[in-house]
Amino acid sequence: MSGTDNRLGIWLMVATTFVFAMQDGISRHLAEVTNVYMVVMVRYWFFAAFVMALSARQAGSLWKAAATEQPFLQAFRGTLLAAEICVTVLAFTILGLVESHAVFACYPLIVAALSGPVLGEQVGWRRWAAIGVGLIGVLIILKPGFGVFSPAAIVPLVGAAMFALYGLLTRYAARKDTTATSFFWTGTTGAVVMTAVGVWFWEPMNGRDWIWMGTLCLSGAFGHWLLIKCYEVAEASAVQPFAYLQLVFVSILGVTVFNETIEANVILGAAIVVGAGTFTLIRARKAA
């Protein structure tokens, strides 16, 4: 890769994870004072405008950005991501930021497990072993069978599975479509789907919460801009492990702002999940 600057890319990834962590905190607050569907809908309105402007600039025109030979796949991807965001924000309101993100951190393991049947990639025994270890980490976080397990704890795990499938379908779509096209369909499809759902859940908000909503929209666009710049200057395999810093930032936010507590099993389980996920990323890089 010419012009690669992995050090700059790492710092951009750190900044991205910080912005996304703040976005998750704002999402949790707004979903608690209004509802998940309205929050995600308004967020998608702004995101779709950002996506269309950026995709049109990259592709040369909006029409070129929208052109695809696989519209059903692209529409499904966009719908899946919108649904995943709803599920994840719902998890924030049920379990809190810390535990939700600790479970959600297993999504690279799910990507590795599904890359065979979805993309036809070969997954070696080392990565399968890491997936098994990561599953143990998730079970330590959830503590099933110890009298404290709640079915609601499955919510962030469902969100992680949905996000993993979205990522795999994005890689599959990239075989025929450009990044600009996939980005365009992600934003526009999500906005259409969430508008169709969210308008039925519209609730009035006070001025302060509208300021938070505006901040959420701006931070979402800024976070994606940082992420795009990160992948422009650095190798994805070099910066991806640093995406786990979002769990650290979210944990600090959850404890200091939302008075959440971090139990020993969450720390241990998250460490196992992150370690296993980092290993799968390293193995995937070597395989590539």
Over the chain, what is the mean pLDDT? 87
SS (H, E, C) 17-29: HHHHHHHHHHHHH
- The answer to whether the beta carbons of residues 217 and 46 sit under 8 Å apart is yes
Per DSSP, the residues of 207-221 read: HHHHHHHHHHHHHHH
Q: How far apart are CA 130 and CA 259, in angstroms?
A: 33
Strand stretches in 27-165, DSSP E: none
pLDDT tens-place string over residues 230-266 = 888 877 667 777 888 888 899 999 999 999 888 888 8
> Considering the domain boundaries, does residue 145 fall inside one?
yes
Q: How far apart are CA 246 and CA 236, in angstroms?
A: 16
> Average pLDDT for residues 204-210, to the nearest whole number?
94
Instruction: Report the pLDDT value the prediction gives residue 149, as an integer from 0 to 100.
Output: 54
Mean pLDDT of 126-137: 83
Provide the 10 A C-beta neighbour count for residue 101. 28
Q: How many domains does the chain have?
A: 1
**Could you tell me if residue 45 is inside a domain?**
yes
| Tens-digit pLDDT profile for residues 165-196 | 998 898 899 889 988 899 999 999 999 999 99
The model's pTM: 0.87
Among 110-124, 143-157, 252-266, whose mean pLDDT is lowest? 143-157
- Residue 31 domain-assigned? yes
The whole-number pLDDT of residue 115 equals: 79
Q: Which two tokens stand for residue 166?
A: 């979205």
Range of the domain at 245: 6-287
Is position 1 within any domain? Answer: no
